[in-house]
Each structure stands twice: as C-alpha cells, then as structure tokens.
Structure 1
C-alpha cells in the first residue's frame, strides 16, 4: 500500500484497476465495424428508435434499443454481446502488450498493491489476451461485462471490482485510455488515470477531468510512489 499526494490531499493506494484494450494491451478491435453490425441487427429486430449511431457507446446502443421495448432488455443484451464477442475473440487472438505494461504490473505486485482488470470485453477474450501477453499471473481480479448489468461508462464494473477487492473508492486508482473510463471512475469517486495513445486523444480525455493524464504506463508508478 502506498500514500499518494494530490495537491494538498493524499490517499492510500491498495489497488490499481485497469481497463484492458488500449490500456494494457492493443487489441486492434474493429469497434466501428462491430457497432455497424449491431445497429443492423437491432434494426432487423425492430429496435431502432431512429437515432442509433456508430458514434454511440455500446452501452448507449443498448439503452436506446431497450427504450423501444423495455421487456426485451435481455434479448437486446444477448444480440449486442453476441456480435461484440465475435469481434473481441478475433482481436484477442493476436494482441500485443502496451509498452511497459508487463513491467508496471510486476512492479505493482512487488509494492504489495492489488491489480485488477475491469473491462467491457467478454471474459473469454480478456483471458486469452492476458495469457498471450504474459500478464495473467499478475492480475488478482478480473471483472468483465459478463459479471455486471451495465458496462462503461456506467460504473457497475468498478463497483463490482471494489467490492470483490475489499477496498474503498479512496483506496484505488482506475487506469484507462477512454473518456468512458474517466466517467466511470469519477462517478465512483475513484482516482482516474488517463493514459494517452489509446481510444481517445488528450483533448477528449481532458474534458472529462481525470485526476492524472499520463503519456506512458510507466508514469503510473511515479504517481503511486508519490
């Protein structure tokens, strides 16, 4: 556990929670293609309110489609995630670790800090990617969309991770590469660390007000060491 100073405040870090794709590994996930296929499928089912867009988050697509017929929530989730799983497994078959990711995980473990992954991806794809990148042994907890009702930018994944780790929101940091990661962390009062080079550029990340913006995962160690 480490104490980190933020301005005049400090917090005790017991757990570092990470997003996966774009943060720890490069998935090369064809997100736009997946969203277009999801939209096509929802339209086939008559669940398009008229404003479905590939610019929407996956959770927003689910929410919009469910609003058309609330009783079909389970069907919507099933159809959306069926498409996503296909694309995720394709991407997870040939992942590459982000620079310094493995060293950062090893360093955190040596510091006595718990490591978790909380991601919108399915468990099968996440396990495959972590194993291929040699990271699985350094992750204490994995929370995926299979474990929660709502995915990011909702905070269900983080809430579940904190509960299973047995730490408070003040004792954790969440590291991600997208605006959705920052939103989820802030809604749980978890310190958010936005890492550049992933899903969203610095300007988009900065608009969400993360506690830290870092250019490399190795910078996380400096934050935690204070």
Structure 2
C-alpha cells in the first residue's frame, strides 16, 4: 500500500482501553431529553448518539420549542457527556501495542491522526496522559464538528487538515460507527475486534479485521 500517507485512529477502545460507561452516559442523556419534553418513543439506547440528538431536535421543533431553547438543551447534553468523559480518565489504560505501532508508522514517514466522538478536553488529556503528543499530527474531537461519527465529517475534516485525499489514508476503529464513517468518506477501513460490541447482523465493510494493532504495520 505505497499510496498510504496517513493512518487515522479512533481513540477509545482502539488506541486506549476506555473507562467510559457508554451505556450509563447514553441513559443519562436520554433521561434528560425526556425530562425536557422529548417523546420517549422518539429515542432509544439502541441509537447512536448522533441519531438520538437528531431525533430529539426534530421532536422538540415539532412541539414548537425555539431554536435558542434547543441550543440550550444541546449544550446541556454536551456537558453531560463531557463530564462523564473527564470523570473516566482515571480508568483509562493504554493498549499494550499502541506506542509500538505509532512509532513504527512514524518511522515509515506516515502522518497520524485521531478522530473521536469524545470532547477535545478529554481527548487532549488522554494524549498527554499517555505521552502520545509527539506521534499525533491531527486531532478532531466531538466539539470540532457539527456532526460526529458515523457522519463522515470528522474524517473529512482530518483529511483536509492533513492535505490528503481519501485514497491516501486508512482509518482504524473498533465500532460499526467507525466503519460507516469510513465508508461514507470513501476511506479504507480496518476493524479492530472488540468483544465489548456485538455486530451480529450488521454489514461492516473493512479491508481487514485485526485483533492486534501491530497487524496494521504488517498490512502496510
């Protein structure tokens, strides 16, 4: 794959073992949205966060809530997620193979990026905590975009910052929303297996499925 100029990684459960209680955070967000008037039948814990937010906004608009009030609701949703992410930092662990792989990719002259649905404060602290600063050329977090993964927006923003085309990068992630983000952006995707998620019945397009990040170096 001589045309590859950069490898973009998801952060949580890809480069690090996340300490975030995803289900707890989603339940808190849904509980708040229902409290402010969103129909409980319009949103569910089976939906990605982006779809929950879109459905909530649509429902609130249909009920006549002003855009100013909707913005306040969304800001509070962000604060719920931000707080949960920051509170989880003490439970985060670096994957055993991450530094070795990042170093190998850098030695090959490749650029490295991270895109995450976590907030920038959280992602920046993770990068600093595990001394990843010298390896990461671009970071795109939740608050850097309007639409988070599975929208292609974070990946396309990273491409623009790096100055590369979709065909010149590979995206590595552990979740189906990463796969869909890559597909929508026209980017090659590598799926890192994660026993936390059940993908049964889902169509995931990946150029490779790996269990160890070091397999990326061998694939390149």
What CA deviation, in whole Å up to 9, does each residue of 1:68-99 have, x standing for no partner?
Answer: 13435533431221111111101123321112
TM-score of the superposition, structure 1-length normalised? 0.89
User: Whole-Å Cα distance in 2 between the matches of residues 94 and 189 of structure 1?
Assistant: 34
> Which segment drifts farther, 47-56 or 111-120?
47-56
Could you say which residue in structure 2 is the equivalent of 1:219?
Answer: 215
* Aligned counterpart in structure 1 of residue 59 of structure 2, from 51, 54, 68: 68
Gaps of 5+ in 2: 62-66
* Aligned counterpart in structure 2 of residue 86 of structure 1, from 83, 87, 95: 83
> Which segment drifts farther, 18-27 or 87-96?
87-96
TM-score of the superposition, structure 2-length normalised? 0.91
TM-align CA RMSD: 1.7
Alignment of 1:141 onto 2:132: no
Write the mapping of 1:91-170 to structure 2, written as runs, cut at 5 A: 91-170=88-167
Could you say which residue in structure 1 is the equivalent of 2:13?
Answer: 22
Could you say which residue in structure 2 is the equivalent of 1:9?
Answer: none
> Which segment drifts farther, 45-54 or 125-134?
45-54
What secondary structure is seen at the aligned counterpart in 1 of 2:91? coil
User: Whole-Å Cα distance in 2 between the matches of residues 97 and 37 of structure 1?
Assistant: 27
Give the conservation status (yes or no) of the 8 Å contact 1:93–1:129.
no
Gaps of 5+ in 1: 4-11
Could you say which residue in structure 2 is the equivalent of 1:39?
Answer: 30
User: Whole-Å Cα distance in 2 between the matches of residues 175 and 100 of structure 1?
Assistant: 14
Give the conservation status (yes or no) of the 8 Å contact 1:116–1:139.
yes
Change (3 A) 1:140 1:99: same
Give the conservation status (yes or no) of the 8 Å contact 2:156–2:185.
yes
User: Whole-Å Cα distance in 2 between the matches of residues 53 and 184 of structure 1?
Assistant: 21
User: Whole-Å Cα distance in 2 between the matches of residues 41 and 74 of structure 1?
Assistant: 14
What secondary structure is seen at the aligned counterpart in 1 of 2:8? strand
User: Whole-Å Cα distance in 2 between the matches of residues 109 and 198 of structure 1?
Assistant: 29
Give the C-alpha shift of residue 211 in structure 1: 1.6
What secondary structure is seen at the aligned counterpart in 1 of 2:99? helix
How many equivalent residue pairs? 214
Give the conservation status (yes or no) of the 8 Å contact 1:177–1:198.
no
What secondary structure is seen at the aligned counterpart in 2 of 1:28? coil
Could you say which residue in structure 2 is the equivalent of 1:6?
Answer: none
User: Whole-Å Cα distance in 2 between the matches of residues 79 and 199 of structure 1?
Assistant: 28
Higher strand share: 1
Give the conservation status (yes or no) of the 8 Å contact 2:60–2:70.
yes
